[in-house]
Amino acid sequence: MNEVVLEVSQALLQDMGLGRARLDEKTRLELDIMLGDIIEIEGGQKTSAVVWKAPPIDEGKRIIRIDTFTRKNGRIRIGNKVIVRKIIPKVAKRVIMAPAIPQGGRVQFGHGIEDIVKQGLLKRPICAGEIIVIPGISLYGNPFPFGVIKTKPKEIVTVGEETVVVINEEAIKEGIVNEALDFDDTKEWKVKVQREDIVCLNENDTVETLIKKSLETGFSRFPVYRNNIDDIVGMVHVKDTLEIEDKDTPVSSILWDILKIRAGMKIDDVLREMQRRKTHIAILQGKDGSTLGLVTLKDLIEEVFREISDEQ
């Protein structure tokens, strides 16, 4: 079996989330493959992609262009060397998938989601344990990730017209998502709400004030301070006001603990801690304990998948 060693480079913008690998003509001849064939890419672990034509500038450079998800499925980084070989996968009889969202939980999809996913995956190679995205399905304006739970047969397969696609609404296990979203070089400071933009409440503010603040801003969760913004003592959620009849009750009576994180933490570390604590917001603190900003779960998810649109 022919195989070559290539250096990994960034994908073209139009290839993001489509499972493509760009190879130059020389490499295709060496591997005896044609455009549209499927290759196995061996990095930290094996993954696969569909062969597409490389731009003329790549000719003779011994590189392979693959996107963020393909790299992460193969535990590969830009600049790594990978082994590439042609494979002819079987068409899957059955594929089971589920949302791969860091906060976990359940996602209610509309009718026909299986057909949409299936059409988006036709002739694409996939393997159990991988995280993939489907064209046209998004989360907060970014590609919505699905985890491949199981395939039949249990190997790299392609999705065909005869493949039965099953979509579970329950998100896949935390460990799978955490491994797939291991962004070692991404720092949380890129996603925080600046200190001056944080909407806070004082612990002596009333429940009525909380309700009004929620209506004004559209937010449901607010940090609560005691003396000043550097003295955050917890957080409140507007839903906790529903059973309180006396709206003059201070918000300190419905106070929850708030997660505080240090400056310089990586996104994946913050994400894991927010998952563990089952919280949607966290306060970013400096070494002296001062408040630097606010991190939300929504911002983290958007930042994690921002890498896709940044690769141009």
- Quick: pLDDT tens for 71-87: 989 989 899 999 999 99
- pLDDT, one tens digit per residue, over 105-152 is 777 787 888 988 999 899 899 999 898 888 878 766 667 889 999 999
**172 and 200: one domain?**
no
Q: What value does the mean pLDDT take over residues 8-31?
A: 91
**How far apart are the C-alpha atoms of 250 and 151, rounded to whole Å?**
54
- Band of pLDDT at residue 237, cut at 50, 70 and 90: very high
Of the residues 67, 87, 107, the one at which a domain ends: 87
Q: How many other C-beta atoms are found inside a 10 Å radius of the C-beta of residue 155?
A: 13
**82 and 95: one domain?**
no
**172 and 222: one domain?**
no
Q: What value does the mean pLDDT take over residues 290-306?
A: 77
- DSSP characters over 205-226: SBHHHHHHHHHHH--SEEEEES
**63 and 124: one domain?**
no
**194 and 149: one domain?**
no
The pLDDT score that the predictor gives to residue 111 is: 82
Beta partners for 97? 148, 167
CA angle 270, 272, 276 (to 5 degrees): 115
**23 and 72: one domain?**
yes
- Residue 183: is its pLDDT beyond 70? no
> Domain containing 205: what range?
188-309
CA angle 79, 144, 125 (to 5 degrees): 60
Q: What value does the mean pLDDT take over residues 64-70?
A: 92
**210 and 298: one domain?**
yes
- Band of pLDDT at residue 28, cut at 50, 70 and 90: very high
Do residues 165 and 252 make contact, with C-beta atoms less than 8 angstroms apart?
Answer: no
Q: What is the CATH number of the domain that holds 229?
A: 3.10.580.10
The pLDDT score that the predictor gives to residue 267 is: 73
**How far apart are the C-alpha atoms of 260 and 231, rounded to whole Å?**
11
The pLDDT score that the predictor gives to residue 247 is: 92
**94 and 123: one domain?**
yes
- High-pLDDT (> 70) share of the chain, %: 87
Distances (CA, A) of 51 to 25, 86, 152, 272: 11, 10, 23, 35
- pLDDT, one tens digit per residue, over 224-233 is 999 999 999 9
Q: What is the CATH number of the domain that holds 18?
A: 2.40.40.20
Top pLDDT among 77 and 269 is at 77
**How far apart are the C-alpha atoms of 165 and 148, rounded to whole Å?**
10
Of the residues 136, 155, 180, the one at which a domain ends: 180
Domain count within the chain: 3
Q: Which residue has the tokens 């480079």?
A: 9
The two most distant CA atoms of the chain are separated, in Å, by 77
**210 and 295: one domain?**
yes
- Band of pLDDT at residue 274, cut at 50, 70 and 90: confident
**57 and 130: one domain?**
no
**How far apart are the C-alpha atoms of 29 and 136, rounded to whole Å?**
34
Residue type, 159: V
**112 and 64: one domain?**
no
Q: What is the CATH number of the domain that holds 169?
A: 3.10.330.10
Of the residues 61, 87, 113, the one at which a domain ends: 87
**101 and 78: one domain?**
no
**How far apart are the C-alpha atoms of 249 and 151, rounded to whole Å?**
55
- Band of pLDDT at residue 309, cut at 50, 70 and 90: very low
Of 273, 229, 226, the closest CA to residue 252 belongs to 226
